[in-house]
Structure 1
């Protein structure tokens, strides 16, 4: 997956993590439920004496309202600013003293907190997470400092960066009614008017054991993890968590276009087609076929887009395709590229679409399909190479409304995708009706104001 598509996916989660490359094998996770409604999922992996401990809250930017965008992310920052028993910054200091690392990330669909730690220190970090689930402090001065950090983060990551500006406007144009319209970090005006009481209200509304999932992977005993969870989280009372009302995006009835003018080295274009998300692993065969189609276009070094438009025809400096089908809300299939000298963004747009149209008309050979599916399945399996990667995979599935028990079934369904199914989705979903196109028109770099990253940035 190329840089621009990666930028889009990164824009859907403000996060920071990395994993080690170790051969993984399939393991079955065990699931428990505390009496207060908190789900505990444990996958034992004995390859190294380490543990990934994650707490996922089903509350992301899609749960915000106009005027308070950015709240989920702002609250994530406040989770490190002290509790009844912890001073501001002490949470991170304690994890570091234990020899671990920790961070958090906010997405459109959820907010998650994690620690990677030596296995004997698991109870210590579990105790810390339980403390801030129920005893977070909201100091007005701490909030004032932290919201300034968030505003600087927005300037540094979006307002001063041309590609993130493109994707922010793309989402705001593609989604009219659905809250995916809003950026995770929030609109600047909402950040400027946000109060510490807004953050506390968000915490009181969503941060409850019955709206959280604990995921633990690594060198642990599942039953012992459950006992520790009961000890530290079991006494936290459940809350009446609000029921999210259906927020359906109206049917798009024609192509939408948007242009961003910003200091940049090169022009750029991205096309977003509205396509089905994965809601039912067993029934949603079109979603699996779209996954394979993305891999055919851009799943490996010599995939179709790069081979044709960059290497052979030399009409683009870079091209890409992306489809992330696991989400609480609607999803898009992306095509993007930076044109080479002598090629316009309008021409590249047509050339990108022509590659999908070629599959729609001619299909794909069994040989190519077999090769691409092998690459795609390998990529799915490689996500489990690290202890942390396994925890991420489980958490994302659970937060998106899909059971972690279906993870292996997804791979089986990908293996079963036929050439006819790939051709059918290429024919069905890539017309003008549900397409949004965003184009970057570069301005001179002399107009760009260099700014250092904000102090206190966690991600």
Structure 2
């Protein structure tokens, strides 16, 4: 998940010089607005620590009588071990299967009964649960969520039914989806020791052999108040909210957490390649380079910011470099995408993925991508290109704060990576200081073959039932 989503218009890069004065004006207009937003955010955000280790963050936003209530556990697929992949996601499902006070399936019905919406999601780095309700109903959903933090109680029969649902989810979302299969193989090939090499949903064999006790052990290991952050945003009074949290979450007992081993990824020594054969309509290509991430306590490290902006220059709007050259001009690919997560707990990749155009080859597509990258490395980027990205980062951040749920999401996700919510504005400010030369420098330093993994999808006829994967390292 990106800390900041990039949303852009469709102005052609070749016309950027003519719009630079307008962009500079927008930049100057956005900066005071951001400064005002920063001041309000600091004044309206309150952090507390309960005696049991639970962190509470309250963001006041009184524009509408609604509240977002989120509980974040720092326990994701990165914390899993071989043979038990997918257990974090399995436990997310089982959290809806009852406590001594709430029967299986009742949690969602009770939230709906007070007019709320709720859901949960599992990530590589965390698992989170949320409800959004009218402010007078916060007490109701908090009582429910706090109950299952300490008193989850599901039986083997409920587990047996739910694991079948999860295996079917894997079949539909991954095994029947060629793009997902390609990404899964890419991650498994790129990483050697990091748990990021495993899919969040888990390997099918691990799901088939998982038992209810595995999910219970995961719950006992990680679902403790001293491994959780509660984020509440909306039309609330912080002191009243604190008292409510102390009432419901305060009785939860802190537990000793498992030791987290660092699992440092060994240096890559050359190009890795993997080929996936699966039913699909077209060739697909993914190229992923090992790159640094932003680390807590190192907010002055310019390289992650430069990589984030490099992704924007290449694929930050409809007519960015890769789209303009490879899709519209050369027509070597049908679509192309760049991904990079600057904020995470584990090692990161800078990935370019594309669907190859009919009649074109993987070699042609890869050569075309390399051509765009080589030109950028040799000639750099225009100041107007970079300014465009930075202006939209500012404006998008301001618009994002119109969403009560979006504010809670941003706070929770950055806290899970080991940062503080107070770092959000500092990170955005640092992004504005990056120069075109720094963006060019990270491209030259990191988008090289020694840290590259290439994944290719070889499309098979739709009636092909078997999926095969083969790989090699140069």
Q: TM-score, structure 1 length as denominator?
A: 0.91
CA deviations on 1:316-364 (whole Å, 9 max, x unpaired) are 2111211111110001101111122232122111211221221111011
* Contact preservation (8 Å) 1:292, 1:376: no
Indicate if the aligned counterparts of 1:160 and 1:448 stay in contact, CA closer than 8 A. no
1:239 paired residue among 255, 263, 266? 255
RMSD (Å), alpha carbons: 1.8
Secondary structure at 1:200 match in 2: helix
Q: CA deviation at 1:379?
A: 3.4
Superposed CA offset, 1:240-299 (max 9, x none)? 111201111111111100011111111110111110011045222100000110000001
Name 1:275's counterpart in structure 2. 291
1:343 aligns with 2:360: yes
Q: Radius of gyration: which is bigger?
A: 2
Secondary structure at the aligned position of 1:183 is classed as coil
1:281·1:410 contact (CA, 8 Å) conserved in 2? no
Pick one of 403, 407, 424 that aligns with 1:407. Answer: 424
Whether 2:171 is the aligned partner of 1:125: answer: no
Query: 1:440 & 1:298 partners in 2: Cα distance?
Result: 22
CA distance in 2, matches of 1:222, 1:354: 54
Task: Tell whether 2:302 aligns with 1:285.
Answer: yes
Give the secondary structure class of the aligned counterpart of 2:455.
strand
Partners of 2:374 and 2:170 in 1: CA distance: 38
* Structure 2 partner of 1:67: 83
SS of aligned partner of 2:133: strand
2:226 to 184, 202, 210: 210
| 1:444-455 equivalence runs, <5 A | 444-447=461-464
User: Aligned equivalents of 1:351 and 1:384: distance in 2?
Assistant: 39
Gaps of 5+ in 2: 7-32, 467-474
Residues 68 and 190 in structure 1, CA contact (< 8 A), matched pair in contact too? yes
Residue equivalent to 1:352? 369
- Offset of residue 378 of structure 1: 3.0
Between the aligned partners of 2:393 and 2:279, the Cα distance in structure 1 is 36
Q: Distance in 1 between matches of 2:140 and 2:308?
A: 40
Q: 1:176 aligns with which of 167, 170, 192?
A: 192
Deviation at 1:382, TM superposition (A): 3.7
1:108 pairs with one of 124, 130, 141: 124
Equivalent-residue separation in structure 2 for 1:446 and 1:127 (angstroms): 51
Aligned residue among 319, 326, 336 for 1:319 = 336
The equivalent of 2:21 in structure 1 is none
Shift in Å at residue 311 of structure 1? Answer: 1.4
Query: Structure 1, unaligned stretches of length 5 or more?
Result: 7-22, 450-459
C-alpha displacement of 1:155: 0.7
- The answer for the alignment partner of 2:27 in structure 1 is none
Q: Is the 8 A contact 1:377 1:414 kept in 2?
A: no
Task: Describe the superposition over 1:364-389 as per-residue Cα deviations: whole angstroms up to 9, x where unpaired.
Answer: 12122211221233334443331111
Q: Secondary structure in 2 aligned to 1:95?
A: helix
In structure 2, the partner of 1:9 is: none
Per-residue CA shift, 1:380-438, capped at 9, x if unaligned?
44433311111111111000111111101111111111011001101100111111111
User: Which residue among 77, 95, 98 is the counterpart of 1:82?
Assistant: 98
Aligned to 2:391: 374
Contact 1:326 1:400 in 2 (8 A): yes
**3-state DSSP class of the match of 1:51?**
strand
Shift in Å, 1:114: 0.4
2:315 pairs with one of 282, 287, 298: 298
Q: Does 1:96 align with 2:112?
A: yes
Correspondence for 1:219 among 214, 217, 235: 235
Asked if 2 retains the 8 angstrom alpha-carbon contact of 1:324 and 1:331, the reply is yes
- Select 2:208's aligned residue among 172, 186, 192: 192
Aligned 8 A contact 1:299 1:376 in 2: no
Q: Tell me how far 1:219 sits from its aligned partner.
A: 1.0
Contact 2:60 2:236 survives alignment (8 Å)? yes
Determine the C-alpha separation between the residues in 1 that align with 2:97 and 2:293: 36
